[in-house]
Amino acid sequence: MGQQLLNGIFLGSIYALFAVGYTLVFGVLDILNLAHQAVFMVGAFLALTLVATAGLPFWAAMGAAMLATALLGIVLERVAFRPLRGRADSNFSGLISSLAAASVLEAVALQLWGPDVSRFPLGTFPDRVLRVGPAVVSLLQLTIVALSVCLMLALTLTLQRTRLGRQIRAVAESPRAAQVLGVPVNRVIALSFALSSALGGAAGVLFGLAFNSISPDVGRTVELKGLAVIILGGMGSVPGAVLAAYLLGLLEVFTTAELGSSYRDAVAFAVLFGVLVFRPRGLLGGAAVRTS
């Protein structure tokens, strides 16, 4: 039981790190960024390449990958989202645009790294195991949880305590009002994307390390779980995403233990469905309608 709890927390940490970026962009732009999973995947591959080819230590590789994905996020915003901003159907066209960007990124990854599974070289991370009561946890798992929590805390602090954070929240509430108040909306949106993508990239690196399996389509399943998480947590709510991610992680682990792994995926979608039908705004979501 304790072991399941720990595994659930571990899984939840990764989902959470992925989901907060996802929900941040939705909160700010009212767009579901389906390219987030591609950025996740690129982050993983970049870190892998830096470790395997350039021999960088894991920390440096992760940092560099996060920086690179942040930049990628800015490029994505500029190319695929900003041109659509004035349009009446911008949520729909933004969704399609993000799909297109994801395809392109996945194609590039396929060409560069091939379709097969790649792994971090042995020795990227020390292979130590610790005992916590009757349960067993690896140093890797602990580190991943710790890193995820730190990054999410960093995001939360940024959103709550810094000027940028205030500006982001203002734009999320009403871009027009924010603009009237002098907030540089374009820059804020670009930076939100940078933050979101950096976290997505980090999630990818940690995922790649945790499951030791990176391939160009690795983002696909996580994306769908991520959807379940942000819906459960409430679209646009960062604390909601964190809460929902851990809940889902625990739920999946316990379902696997009771019913077997083939039903694990069904849990996420049953939750997603249930939330949408009975409580569309999720656990901590705000109003479903946004002022323009």
Partner 1 sequence: MESFLATYASVFQFMLLNGLLALSVYATLCCGQLSLANAGFMCIGAFASAVLTQRASAPFPLALAAGALVPALLAVPLGFPVLRLRGVFLAIATIGFGEMVRVFFVNWDYTNGALGLVAIPQHTTTLLLVASVAAVTFFFARLRGSRIGYALEALREDEPAASTLGIDPARYKLAMFVLGAAIAGLAGALEAHLTFMVAPSGYGFGRAVDMLVWAVVGGISRVGGPLLGAFFLTALPEALRAAGHAVGLAPGPLRMGVNGLILLAVVLFLPNGLVAAPAAVRALLRRRKART
If binding means CB under 8 A, how many residues of this protein chain bind partner 1? 43
Task: Decide if residue 211 touches partner 1 (CB under 8 A).
Answer: no
- From 42-50, 147-155, 162-170, 226-234, span contacting partner 1 (CB under 8 A): 226-234
What lies within 8 Å, CB to CB, of 270 at 6+ separation is none
Residue 160 has, within 13 A of its CA and on its CB side, a CA count of: 9
Which x/- pattern over 42-71 shows residues binding partner 1 (rule: CB under 8 A)?
Answer: ------------------------------
Q: What does the DSSP 8-state code read for residue 120?
A: P
Stretch that binds partner 1, among 147-155, 198-206, 220-228, 242-250 (CB under 8 A): 220-228
Q: Which among 242, 196, 166 has a CA at the least distance from the CA of 81?
A: 196
Which residues contact residue 200 at a Cβ distance below 8 angstroms, ignoring those fewer than 6 apart? Answer: 18, 21, 22, 36, 37, 39, 40, 43, 69, 73
Footprint (CB under 8 A) of partner 1, residues 96-115: 96-97, 99-104, 106-108, 110-111, 115
- Give the torsion through C-alpha atoms of 248, 254, 258, 260, to 10 deg: 60
In whole angstroms, how close is the CB of 81 to partner 1 at the nearest point?
10
Residue 55 or residue 83: which is nearer to partner 1 going by CB?
83
From CA 123, how far away is CA 101, in angstroms rounded? 34
* H or E element in which residue 37 lies: helix 36-52
Q: Which two tokens stand for residue 286?
A: 């705000």
Q: Which is nearer to partner 1, 97 or 118 (CB)?
A: 97
Which one of residues 5, 142, 224, 284 is an interface residue with partner 1 (CB under 8 A)?
Answer: 224
- Indicate which single residue of 20, 25, 32, 62 sits in contact with partner 1 (rule: CB under 8 A): 32
Q: Which of 93, 138, 174, 179 binds partner 1 (CB under 8 A)?
A: 93
Cβ atoms of 151 and 202 closer than 8 Å:
yes
**Among 29, 80, 140, 238, which residue interacts with partner 1 (rule: CB under 8 A)?**
80
Over the window 256 to 285, marking each residue x when it contacts partner 1 by CB under 8 A and - when it does not, the resulting string is ------xx-xx-xxx-xx--xx--x-----
Nearest to 206 by CA among 49, 43, 20, 51: 43
**Whole-number Å distance between alpha carbons of 129 and 91:** 46
Question: Pick from 155, 178, 191, 228: which binds partner 1 (CB under 8 A)?
Answer: 228
Q: Note the residues at the interface with partner 1 (CB under 8 A).
A: 32, 79-80, 83-84, 87, 89, 91-93, 95-97, 99-104, 106-108, 110-111, 115, 220, 224, 227-228, 231, 262-263, 265-266, 268-270, 272-273, 276-277, 280, 288
